[in-house]
Amino acid sequence: MQNKLLYKALIGSVCLMIGSGCSFDVAPEKTRPTTSSQQARPAANVPAPAPAPVEAQRFLAEVLIGASMNALQSSLGQPDIIFAEQNARFLRYDAPGCAVHILMKEGRVIEVTPRKRNGRPLGTKAADNCFHEMVVARRAAADDED
C-alpha cells in the first residue's frame, strides 16, 4: 500500500515537471539555431552608456588601527606633536583645517580620531575628509622633498 502511494506521488511529480517544462537533462543545453523571425533586431542608434566615474582612492582612518610607530612614520612622516607617558603615546598630525589624533598603547595604534583644530569632534563625513586630506597633504609634501 505504501509503495503504491509513493509510486503515484512520483508519477504525479514527473507529470508536473514535464507539464511545466522542466527536464532531467544534466548536460548544458545546446544552443538552437535562430530562425529568421527570432533573429536579433539591430539596436536603434542607442548610445553606449557612459563609463562610471572613477573615484579617487580614499584614505580611511581605520586602516591605521594596529599599526606600529615605525609604520606610522614611514607612511605619514613625523607627527606634529608627540606626548608619551609610560606605555602610551598621543600623536597629532595636523591637516588643513583639522588635526588627526592618534592614541597608541604598547606600541600599537588603538584609536584614530580626526578633530577640529581646537580639539572638538567632527561629524563622520568631515572626519573621513579630514583624514583623507591629511594623508594626501603629507604624501604630497614627502614627494616634494624627494
Element (H, E) at 94: strand 88-95
Which tops the pLDDT comparison, 62 or 32? Answer: 62
Confidence of residue 141 (pLDDT cuts 50, 70, 90): confident
Torsion of CA 13, 15, 17, 19, to 10 degrees: -150
CA distances from 83 to 13, 25, 74, 92, 106 (A): 76, 72, 19, 9, 14
Find, among 59, 72, 64, 76, the residue nearest to 112 by Cα: 64
For the chain, the structural domain boundaries read: 61-145
Residues 47-62 pLDDT 10s: 666 665 545 677 788 8
Query: Which pLDDT does position 32 carry in this prediction?
Result: 57
Comparing 118 with 141, the larger pLDDT belongs to 118
This prediction's pTM: 0.59
Domain 61-145 falls under CATH 3.30.1450: yes
